[in-house]
Structure 1
Amino acid sequence: MKKLAKIFLCLTLALMMSLSLMVPAFAAGTCNHSFKRVIVGTYVWYDNITSMGHQWNKGDLLQCSKCGTKVGVAANSTLSSGHHERSEYSSDHSSSNPAKHMYVKIYRCKECLYITDRKSGFTGCTASGCREYQSIKPVPVTE
């Protein structure tokens, strides 16, 4: 009888502890927001970002004084547009052979920063820098 009571007590305590851990997860989503305007009229954000384009919004930024949640409120100025590409280049010169190292070229939208394309491969260096960055055709590397 004592053993059965001990098992029941342990299971009850385990259940109460697991329930007490779940309560904060549900409590976080139940804030009665009290929004105040942080930025008026000049806040810009992007919605509906896809591979084809994005939606540009301009309006007010509201922030909850209790939980810190930020929400953009459009002032009737939304515009859909395609991505405007820019490229970013990086290379890894940590290898011992500077004639053969990895490069990564990322093409992303200037406005919403959506990555539209990514290229990578091996390249070499000249006295004035990486061949791929200078748009020089890579020299075949023979080993």
Structure 2
Amino acid sequence: MIHKKTIKAYVYQRDQGKCFHCGKSIRFNQTTLDHYFPKSRGGTEEFFNLVACCKFCNRMKKSVVPKDWLTINIELFKKAVLDGKVISQVEPKYNQDELVGLAHGIESIFRNKINTVFEGDGYRLYVKENKIYKMVRFHHEEE
């Protein structure tokens, strides 16, 4: 498990010391972490679902699910893979360049009670606790 200060430091740096919602610069010690897809609705503690947030915006957002949560979670997932924060536990192990290539092709996301699933053209990545623990390849049926 990753220490909360390490998570906060990464998210703060990734979001360039600004509130993800209002864009205002915030000091590290004044930063809160917002679960972009709310934790109360099943959102995870993973890098791709956390954004730097000022206290005011975090209070105002409450448990609202942003309309763009799918797009934002996918983009933040791609960034976390690129930054080496999401790693693979799939055998055989994928190197960083291979993971970045897979992440780049992600087009959709869905959640279940166990994990988050990112889907690209012909594959799914099952992610839990910032680790890709399963990959399934499939072929689309021609119509």
Structure (1/2) with the larger helix percentage: 2
Interval containing the TM-score (normalised by the shorter chain): under 0.3
Rg comparison, structure with higher value:
1
Q: Which has the higher contact order (CA 8 A, sep 6+)?
A: 2
Structure (1/2) with the larger strand percentage: 1
Normalising by structure 2, we get a TM-score of 0.19
Normalising by structure 1, we get a TM-score of 0.19
